[in-house]
Chain A
Amino acid sequence: MVGVCPGQAQCFGRSLNKGGYIIISVHTKVEAYTANGPAKRRLKLTRNDWAGYAFSTPLLIGVLAFAIYPMLAALYMSFQQTSGSGLTAQWVGLSNYTYILNDPIFWKSLTNTMYMGVLSMLLGIGVSFILASLINSLKWDLGKNMFKGIYFLPNVVSAVATSLLFSFLFYPDQAGLLNYVIGWFGIEPVGWFTNSQYSRFSIVMMSMWGALGYNTIIFLAGLQSVPRDLYEAAEVDGASGIRKWLHITIPYLRPIFVFMFIMGTIGGMKRFSDVWLIGGTAGNPDGSLMTSVLYIYRSAFLASQMGLATAASYLLFVVILILTMFLMVMNSRKNSFD
Chain B
Amino acid sequence: MMRRWLLLILSFALVFTLIACSSNTENEITGGSNVEKVSDMKGTVRVALAGWKLENGIDPLTGNETIGLNDYLKATFNKMYPNIKLEVYQIPWENAKAKQSAMLLSKDVDVLYTGGAFASQWYQEGLLRDLDDLIEVDASFDPNIYLPGIMNNSYSTKSPDGSKQFGIPVALGRRMIVYDTKLFEDWGVEPLAKKPTAEEILEKGEKMTGKNPKTGEQNYGLHWSGNSLNGSTFVALTLAFGAKGAEGSLNDVKNIKWKLNTPEMVKVMEWLKKASLLPPKGFITGQGAENFGLDKNNIAIGIDQNGGSTMSEYRTKKDEALLSRFEPVMNVGPEGEGWVAVDPFVMSKDANDVKASWEVLKFLTGYETQKYMYENYANTPTLSKADFVDKEDKFVKMALDIAAVGHSELMDEANPFFMSDITPAINGFISKAAAGSPPDIPTFLDDLQERAEKWTANLK
**Does A338 have its Cβ within 8 Å of any Cβ on chain B?**
no
- Shortest Cβ gap from A20 to chain B (Å): 41
- Shortest Cβ gap from A163 to chain B (Å): 10
**Does B8 have its Cβ within 8 Å of any Cβ on chain A?**
no
**Does B137 have its Cβ within 8 Å of any Cβ on chain A?**
no
**Does B229 have its Cβ within 8 Å of any Cβ on chain A?**
yes
| A-B pairs with beta carbons under 8 A, tally | 114
**Does B97 have its Cβ within 8 Å of any Cβ on chain A?**
yes
Determine if A282 and B424 form an interchain contact, defined as CB atoms under 8 angstroms apart: yes
| Chain B residue at minimum C-beta to C-beta distance from A285 | B431
Determine if B101 and A85 form an interchain contact, defined as CB atoms under 8 angstroms apart: yes
| Contact A196 B431, CB 8 Å, known A167-B287, A284-B227 | yes
Per-residue contact bits, chain A 286-325, to B (CB 8 Å; 1 contact, 0 not): 1100100000001101111100100000000000000000
Determine if A194 and B458 form an interchain contact, defined as CB atoms under 8 angstroms apart: no
Residues of A within 8 A of B428 (CB): 282-284, 286-287
Determine if A284 and B126 form an interchain contact, defined as CB atoms under 8 angstroms apart: no
Determine if A85 and B435 form an interchain contact, defined as CB atoms under 8 angstroms apart: no
Residues of A within 8 A of B127 (CB): 84-85, 87
- Shortest Cβ gap from B296 to chain A (Å): 11
The CA-CA distance from A191 to B435 in the complex, in Å, is 10
- Among the listed A81, A195, A298, A304, which residue makes an inter-chain contact with B435, where contact means beta carbons less than 8 Å apart? A195
| Contact A280 B424, CB 8 Å, known A83-B125, A304-B416 | yes
- Shortest Cβ gap from A59 to chain B (Å): 24
Per-residue contact bits, chain A 85-111, to B (CB 8 Å; 1 contact, 0 not): 101100000011001000000000000
The CA-CA distance from A95 to B457 in the complex, in Å, is 11
Q: Number of B residues contacting the other chain (C-beta, 8 Å)?
A: 42
Determine if A302 and B416 form an interchain contact, defined as CB atoms under 8 angstroms apart: yes
Per-residue contact bits, chain B 83-113, to A (CB 8 Å; 1 contact, 0 not): 0000000000000011001001100000000
**Does B284 have its Cβ within 8 Å of any Cβ on chain A?**
yes
- Among the listed A88, A99, A284, A304, which residue makes an inter-chain contact with B284, where contact means beta carbons less than 8 Å apart? A284
The CA-CA distance from A88 to B254 in the complex, in Å, is 14
Residues of B within 8 A of A282 (CB): 227, 423-428, 431
- Among the listed B285, B419, B421, which residue makes an inter-chain contact with A284, where contact means beta carbons less than 8 Å apart? B285
| Chain A residue at minimum C-beta to C-beta distance from B439 | A286
| Chain B residue at minimum C-beta to C-beta distance from A176 | B282
- Among the listed B101, B227, B416, which residue makes an inter-chain contact with A305, where contact means beta carbons less than 8 Å apart? B416
**Does B417 have its Cβ within 8 Å of any Cβ on chain A?**
yes
- Shortest Cβ gap from A44 to chain B (Å): 43
**Does A256 have its Cβ within 8 Å of any Cβ on chain B?**
no
| Contact A194 B282, CB 8 Å, known A85-B101, A85-B127, A87-B125 | yes
- Among the listed B98, B287, B458, which residue makes an inter-chain contact with A95, where contact means beta carbons less than 8 Å apart? B458
Residues of A within 8 A of B126 (CB): 87
**Does B122 have its Cβ within 8 Å of any Cβ on chain A?**
yes
- Among the listed B416, B427, B435, which residue makes an inter-chain contact with A196, where contact means beta carbons less than 8 Å apart? B435
Determine if A85 and B105 form an interchain contact, defined as CB atoms under 8 angstroms apart: yes
Residues of A within 8 A of B284 (CB): 194, 284-285
**Does A172 have its Cβ within 8 Å of any Cβ on chain B?**
yes
**Does A279 have its Cβ within 8 Å of any Cβ on chain B?**
yes
| Chain B residue at minimum C-beta to C-beta distance from A85 | B101
The CA-CA distance from A194 to B434 in the complex, in Å, is 9
**Does A193 have its Cβ within 8 Å of any Cβ on chain B?**
yes
User: Which residues 385-427 of B have a CB within 8 angstroms of A?
Assistant: 416-417, 419-421, 423-427
Q: List 6 A-B contacts (CB under 8 A).
A: A83-B124, A83-B125, A85-B104, A196-B431, A280-B286, A282-B424
User: A85-B127, A298-B420 known; 12 other A-B pairs, CB under 8 Å?
Assistant: A81-B459, A83-B124, A85-B101, A87-B125, A173-B282, A279-B285, A280-B228, A282-B428, A287-B424, A298-B421, A299-B420, A303-B421
